[in-house]
Amino acid sequence: MARRWHRLPYPSTHSLGLGASVAAEPWTLFLDSCGRGGLRGRFDILLHHPRWRVWQEGEHVYLAEGDGTAQISAEPLIPTLRAIAREEQQRTSDLGGFPTPYPFAGGFAGFLSYDWGRRMLGIPGPDDPTLPTAALAWYDSALMVDHVSREAGFWGRSQDLPDWLEKPPASPPAPHFPDRGSAWRPRWSAAAYRRAFADVKAYLRAGDVYQLNLAQAFSGRWSASPWQLYSALRQRNPAPFAAFFSLPEASLLSLSPERLVSLRDGRLQARPIKGTRRRDPDPERDRALAAELCASPKDRAENVMIVDLLRNDLGRVAELGSVRVPELCALESFPAVHHLVSSIEARLRRDCDPWDVLLSCLPGGSVTGAPKRHAVELLQALEGQPRGFYCGSLGYVDARGRMDWNILIRSLSYRAGRVQYWGGGGIVMDSEVEAEYRESLDKVAFIAATLDGVEDLVAPATAGAERRAAEIAR
């Protein structure tokens, strides 16, 4: 039976209630714009019941049709995905009636970890044992919400629609706060961070790299469901590239503000973030922090370095002469932090497809350093453990060849009550250790505050995170 478009009423819960009804089902994926509106906060996409599941563990790629038994693929991940996509596009080639503005006409969606990208650079090393290095699924159907037109719809077979709507949309669950005081812990002490920072500065002085994005890992606990944790984090820090992905092994929760790369009608766009200041509840101090960020030579230089790196990444798959930078070091403000964001655009070459773009861009330059390959090699030794999902990418490639992928920053994995997340930042010659350490805490303060049960937002949450880190360092 052919798929068609079914118009639905705009949800009163801004999609959260729709996601809550299926969040516990494995392979449910909620791509969440947090209802911010505008070009990067317009659509939410809810996906579940995939037709194909594909994931990689170590050197092996597994695939399973529907709920069937997994088999090992004879091909690497990307050729496997391409082969399934060709088969599915032939099976469901008719897209008549699909409304043009909506982003996902069926296709692959999921995540590619940082360690998967490291492997694609030819750099060996251990993988995170708690999650696959990549997990994607082909979804025939999608429920989508448009926050600009305040409409919604379902793309799929009419006979499947009751399965999506038979559970009444639930109200977002109330945030669950555990006992205060010991819910999160950094892997490094402040002294350990300073030692790693000193090593980075030595590499910079020697000319080995121009920038390194050093990150530290945090662990925590959460006694309620991962969806409740996602709802609580989303309330604190709504972001345009947020997502919730339920996997058999664990759940991924992302409140990412950063786009890795998008592709629409042959047009590529990357939007790297480099440069951060915390928000302040006092409007005058907050404006001063934003102005300081915009005027900072160090932060602007850090951003421009990554823009150059991404111009090169996109240039490998772009039409000659089409790469341009329409936006450089623009200020974007989020509930917890101010950022400097740039935009790089290009036209995709005719002989390249979306998977070529991802192979060229991963891991994202804004979360590695420059030059990229050597930066990844150095970070592997400096950080002392695999990043796993962190600084990988989550998104989709649909049946028309459109795609949109985030960078998995401000993101967590949840497994049996345990939470893991990371915070970091780019280090250049002008960087100061105390400022960089504070920035690594500022970026994840909303996570630490949620796990600790702190109900204050923005600066109080950040201050609480810093106090806890200082206590641990002592």
- 3-state DSSP percent of the chain in helix, strand and coil, to 5: 30, 30, 40
Tokens (6 digits) for 178: 């555990």
Q: In sequence order, which residues have a C-beta less than 8 Å from that of residue 64 and are 6 or more positions away?
A: 52, 53, 70, 71
Helices first, then strands: H and E counts in the chain: 13, 24
The active-site residue, picked from 57, 88, 151, 274, is 274
Read off the DSSP letter of residue 366: G
Give the rounded distance of the alpha carbon of 267 from its chain centre: 21
101 three-state secondary structure = coil
226 three-state secondary structure = helix
- 210, with CB counted inside 10 A (0-12, 13-18, 19+), is buried
304 half-sphere exposure, CB direction, 13 A CA radius: 7
Beta-bridged to residue 270, according to DSSP, are 344
CA distance 346 to 67: 39
Question: For 35, left (φ over 0), alpha (ψ -120 to 50), or beta?
Answer: left
Tokens (6 digits) for 293: 């960020």
Pairing of strands 29-32, 241-246: antiparallel
The active-site residue, picked from 88, 258, 345, 466, is 258
Read off the DSSP letter of residue 68: S
Closest listed residue to residue 218, CA positions, set 445, 461, 463 = 445
CA distance 396 to 39: 17
302 a catalytic residue: no
Q: Do 184 and 414 form a contact (C-beta atoms < 8 A)? A: no
Tokens (6 digits) for 62: 């597994």
Element at 118 (helix H, strand E): helix 114-120
274 a catalytic residue: yes
Closest listed residue to residue 16, CA positions, set 170, 216, 226 = 170
Q: Do 135 and 111 form a contact (C-beta atoms < 8 A)? A: yes
Pairing of strands 71-72, 369-370: unpaired
Residues annotated as catalytic are 258, 274
